[in-house]
Every structure is written in C-alpha cells, then in structure tokens.
Amino acid sequence: MTTKKSLIELANNTTPCDDYDPNSMPVDQARQYIKSFLDPVEHKESINLHKALGRVLAQDIRATHNVPNHDNSAMDGYAFNAGDLNEGLTRLKVTGAIFAGNPLTGSFVKGACVRIMTGAAIPIGADTVIAQERVETLDDSIQFKDIPTRGANVRLTGEDLQAGQVVLNIGHRISPADLGLIASLGIGEVMVYRKLRVSFFSTGDELASIGSTLETGQVYDSNRYTLFGILSRMGVEIQDLGAIPDDPLLLEKTLIKAAESSDVILTSGGVSVGEADYMKQLLQKLGQVLFWKIAMKPGRPLAFGKIGNAHYFGLPGNPVAVMVTFYQFVRQAMLVLMGQPNPAPTPMLNVICTTPIRKLKGRTEFQRGILFASEDGNWEVKTTGNQSSGVLSSMSQANCFIVLNDDIGNVEAGATVKVQLFDGVI
C-alpha cells in the first residue's frame, strides 16, 4: 500500500499543479486533490443476485460455460447441410422439427432438412439455416428460392462468451444488464464490497423543518431532501442527522457522531466566508479539513478532508450549489470509495445552445439547461432562465448542466456548448 500524504501536506505540495492557489482552485484540480485522498471500502460480502443492483463487484465474474452453449438457430426456418446443395439439390425433404429447449429426436438425415425455431440447437450434421420466408413449402419438402452461404443464421457456441473468460471485472458497478449477464452464466451469488455508509446534515439557524410554521427569515430545509434523493439513487446506506443550528457544541456533537459511524459525512451550509470561521475551527480541531474557494459558479466554497476515518465534504448551503458540487466532486469520489477505482466520467455532449448566455472568463459555470428535441429532430439546449444559486425550481425544470469552462466568455445563441445530463444522478 502506498503511504498517503496528510491533507495539509497535500495542500502545501504545489507540484505537479504549480498554479495551485488556495483562494481560487480550478475545478479539475480540486477533483484531483480529492481523488488522491480517498480510501475505498475493503470489506466484502457475498449477496444474492437479486440484491446486487448498483453494488460494486469485489470479484471478477468469469463465464462458467460457453454462451451460447450449443450452436443454435438465429431464425425460424429450416436447418440443413450446405454441402448437400453443392450437389445440385434445390429441394430438401423436411424430416422433423426442433423447438428451443427440445432437441431433435433421432438423428439428422443427410440430404434432408429439419424445421427449426429460433434458439433451438442445430442438429449434428446440419450447419446452415434458411429463414422460412425464403423457401416455398411443397408437401413434405422445401424448395429454395436462393441459396444461403454455409453457416448462415447459425449462432455459434461461445460466440457471446467463452468458458473461463472474464466477463465483468472487479470494481465494476452492477447494472440491470449485468444482472442478466450474470444470471445467463447461472451465477446466483456475487461477492461485492459492503455498502458505503453516508451521514449528512444541514447547518443553519434559519432552517425550519417540514411541519413547523415558517417564521420571518426562516427557510425550510430542502437540502436534506435533495441529498436524500441523490444518495438513495447511489445505493448507499444513509444516515440523516437532521438540521443543526449554527451552534458549535451541537455541530461538534453531530460531527463526532457522524464520524464514528460513517465512511462519508456530507454537510450543507456553513462553509462560506464569514460563516466558516467557527466551522473551520471545529473541523480543524476534529480532523484535517481544507477550505477551498473553487473557481466555479455556483458552488464556490467547498470543504474537503477527513474526520477520523470518515471522508468529509462540506457543501455550500445554497440549494442549487449543493447539487452542483455533489455532482461535480462528491459523486465520482463516492464511486471510488464504493470500490470502483476508475468510475467512467459523466458523458459530455456537444449541442447547440438556442439561448445567449452571459458568462465571465476565469471560472467554470454550471448553468441549468433543458435539452430538447428541435423540430428537425436534433437535440438542442436552452437555459432555464434565472441562474441564481438559490433558485431551486431551475433544478427541477432542468435536465442537464450547460458546462462552460474557464476559458469561455459570453455565448451567442446558436453556438455549440457542452452539456452533462442529470439522468440517473440528480
């Protein structure tokens, strides 16, 4: 195992990122710092395939047998031996029928053919299938209209997977397609990493809980609900520690409780300048935490570090900024912690933006976008309008982020922009 630098060393070590500036860190650099300081879960457990969706494999899955395990027909038609037609025959007698799961009774008669259904095993002696639409049936025989090439319409043994081959690698996160793939190998139990334990709480004196009446200056605590939704989709074990007022003692107690029982602690609020002071002292007392200003909008303040063995992410309080920072930093980090060493980056699509956008160079902006099918059938994007980081309704209207990198200034309508889909994440 490699020895990890402390977070403080990490922050002070400016190589290989010589342009490190603690006052305004580029998005990619923050991602790299986070990535270099993650300890994935190691504990494994064997679980039933039914429970495995979204879990990360702690073993390679190998093909237990060839798939398919016999040559079989890709069509409803007739199986025959192509060699027989070389002898000038264009008419073959039908001597039997084979259905999927019901092999031929008796043996294949040379110079004849058998009716065969999709998926049924090709009988020994036959090597080719002709689709039923391509022949004329005459009493008990078929007349060929055209001659297929040898091997046509036959799915060969092992064509999909060969026995012993690694089908899914350790560190792979199981999708619905993978469930089917694993089942197709006859495997009903898989070894996965244990679920990541994630605790979260909101901070702020102004937060009211649902069910109470709003006093002047109060807002309902919405961040815990968006985080609950996002984390539920990630398939982690969730501990909701509530809304905590800006009270150092209460915050300390909650952080200690979270650190004792979690792999990851997420908080929202309390990390922006002005507010950060006692949160900063507290976090530095309890662990090693860095406070960053990221060159991005929304989501400028971000805290990252460790409290005990738990990884800590201090997200900004603004409801939109919570989701942006989660998507841009926390999600990938959590996938690594779940046991995926190299999670696939979220796809970025280039599409035409139909609305003009005002944007300053020097920071990355994540504007809320609506990707829509235009009249000519191409996908285009428009903004949701007001991009203030408090406008939570913009996140509900949007289905993607329009990602405008540091070097991009104002965007004209009709220009191509990059978008990142929400689908499956937010």
Q: Which residues would be at the binding site for Mg ion (CB under 5 A)? A: 204, 269-270, 317
CB of 210 to Mg ion, least distance (A): 18
Interface with ligand AMP in residues 314-373 (CB under 6 A): 316-319
3-class secondary-structure state, position 395 = helix
What mask, x for binding ligand AMP by CB under 6 A, covers residues 256 to 275? ------------xxx-x--x
Residue 64 touches which member of ligand AMP, Mg ion, none, C-beta under 5-8 Å by kind: none
Query: Is 172:57 a contact under the CB 8 Å cutoff?
Result: yes
Q: How far is the CB of 69 from ligand AMP (least distance, A)?
A: 55
Residue number with the shortest CB distance to ligand AMP?
A: 317
Q: How far apart are CA 52 and CA 382, in angstroms?
A: 38
Q: Would you say 223 or 355 has its CB closer to ligand AMP? A: 223
**221 scored as a contact of ligand AMP (CB under 6 A):** yes
Q: Which does 267 bind (CB under 5 to 8 A by kind): ligand AMP, Mg ion, none?
A: none
254 binds, among Mg ion, ligand AMP, none (CB under 5 to 8 A by kind): none
DSSP annotation of 121: B
Dist. CA 382–CA 348, nearest whole Å:
16
Please, which of residues 157-216 interact with ligand AMP by CB under 6 A?
A: 202, 204, 206-207
In this structure, are residues 230 and 187 in contact, taking their beta carbons and an 8 Å threshold?
no
- Quote the CA–CA distance of 74 and 210 in Å, as a whole number: 58
CB–CB of 145/157 below 8 Å? Answer: no
Least distance in angstroms from the C-beta of 238 to Mg ion:
22
Q: How far is CA 173 from CA 192, 237, 271, in A?
A: 9, 16, 32
CB of 321 to ligand AMP, least distance (A): 8
- How far is CA 240 from each of CA 147, 178, 237, rounded to the nearest angstrom? 68, 31, 10
Instruction: Give me the least distance between CB of 269 and ligand AMP, in Å please.
Output: 3
Distance between CA atoms of residues 278 and 287, nearest Å: 14
185 vs 208 by CB, closer to Mg ion: 208
142-161 CB burial, b ≥16 within 10 A, e <16: bebeeebeeebbbbebbeeb
Give dist(CA 129, CA 225) in Å, integer: 57
> What whole-number distance in Å separates Cα of residue 182 and Cα of residue 42?
23
Least CB distance to ligand AMP at residue 394 (A): 14
User: Residue 219 binds which entry of Mg ion, ligand AMP, none, with Cβ cut-offs from 5 to 8 Å by kind?
Assistant: ligand AMP
**Is the CB of 317 or the CB of 319 nearer to Mg ion?**
317
Cβ 272 to ligand AMP shortest distance, Å: 4
Tell me whether residue 106 or residue 217 sits nearer to ligand AMP (CB atom).
217
Per CB under 6 A, the segment of 78-86, 184-192, 217-225, 230-238 that binds ligand AMP is: 217-225
Nearer to ligand AMP among residue 267 and residue 383 (C-beta): 267
Cα 174 to Cα 181, 192, 209, 418: the distances in Å are 10, 10, 36, 28
Nearest CB to Mg ion, comparing residues 269 and 319: 269
Smallest distance, ligand AMP to C-beta of residue 244, A:
10
Nearest approach in angstroms of CB 27 to ligand AMP is 19
From the list 82, 219, 352, 425, which residue makes contact with ligand AMP (rule: CB under 6 A)?
219
**Which of the listed partners (ligand AMP, Mg ion, none) does 207 bind, with a CB threshold of 5 to 8 Å by partner kind?**
ligand AMP
Q: What whole-number distance in Å separates Cα of residue 322 and Cα of residue 314? A: 9
Which among 196, 217, 328 is positioned nearest to 263, based on CA atoms?
196
Q: What would the DSSP string read from start to end of 253-306?
A: HHHHHHHHH-SEEEEESS-STTTHHHHHHHHHHHEEEEEEEBSEES--EEEEEE
If the CB atoms of residues 171 and 316 are measured against ligand AMP, the closer one turns out to be: 316
Residue 223 contact among Mg ion, ligand AMP, none, beta carbon within 5 to 8 Å by kind: ligand AMP
Give the DSSP per-residue string, 142-192: EEESSPPPTTTTEEPTTSSB-TT-EEE-TTPBPPHHHHHHHHHTT--EEEE
Q: Which helix (H) or strand (E) holds 401?
A: strand 400-404
Nearer to ligand AMP among residue 298 and residue 339 (C-beta): 298
Contacting ligand AMP within 273-292 (CB under 6 A): 275
Interacting residues toward ligand AMP by CB under 6 A: 202, 204, 206-207, 219, 221-223, 268-270, 272, 275, 316-319
